[in-house]
Structure formats: structure tokens, C-alpha cells
Amino acid sequence: MVEDALVKEPLTESMIELGAQLTHKLVESGVDVSVAMWFFLSGANRWRLFFSSPEMSTKGSRPIYERIERVRRELPCPDQLPLSSIGLLDPTNQLVNGLRLSVGALPGITRVRYTNGAAHGQYIDDALIYRIAA
């Protein structure tokens, strides 16, 4: 009997570096980034770079996406980090709140791997967290 095996899409060093650069430049440019992380979507077998900002509650997501796109274009290799690989999470999102409770605040821009765990009842297959603001 043959079994189908799903090969997990890797999080490459290039993705990790570009995600860190984008996070740093967003914070530097004045975007209130409360959470920044690569998150593995196991159902889609792909990684997404998620950001969360309290500005979403007051300004909505469009202005934040526009700022992300402006900063993303300033990266050395913007084509290696397409806008389609970036998503926004509402600051009240269960995952965002769960990470705050499970991981706690991470000062500055870090690189913390969080695998095969749960955050406030939500399973996390794999994530690389750059920032969780207090």
C-alpha cells in the first residue's frame, strides 16, 4: 500500500533574513508592529509572514498594507518576498493573543522558533517569531 507523504515547504534562510529586514524597517519607519512572524499554514503547505498592529483597529488594513508594500520595495531583493506572502492579523486575533500569553513579550527584533505547540488552544505547527510587543 502506498501512502501519500506531504513534504513540508521549507522556511529558507533568505525568507528568514528578508522577514527580519522588513520587520526592522517597518518598526524603524514608525509602524506600530505588535507581532511579526513567519507562520506555517499546514493546510496550504506554505509559509506566510504575518504582522499585527493596533493601527488596524483605527485605520483598517489597507493603509498598513500600503506601508508594508512601500517598505518591502526598499528591500535588497523585494521579488523574493512577494506581497502575496504577507498577511495581517487583527490584534484581537486568537493566535496573536495566544502567543502573547504563551511566549510573552519579545523585546526588539528576535528570531524565536515555536514548533509543535499550542497558543491559547490553537495548534501551531511551526512559526518563527520576530516580535511580540508588550
pLDDT in tens, the chain (134 residues): 555 556 789 999 999 999 999 999 999 999 999 999 999 999 899 999 999 999 998 999 999 999 999 999 999 999 999 999 999 999 998 889 888 888 888 878 999 999 998 887 888 999 999 999 98
The Cα-based distances of 50 to 1, 4, 7, 72, 90 in angstroms read: 39, 29, 22, 14, 10
Show the CA angle centred on residue 27, arms to residues 133 and 54, nearest 5°.
Answer: 50
pLDDT computed for residue 122 by the predictor: 83
pLDDT computed for residue 118 by the predictor: 85
User: What are the cell numbers at 130?
Assistant: 520576530
pLDDT computed for residue 6 by the predictor: 66
d(CA 22, CA 107): 16
pLDDT computed for residue 3 by the predictor: 58
pLDDT computed for residue 84 by the predictor: 95
pLDDT computed for residue 44 by the predictor: 92
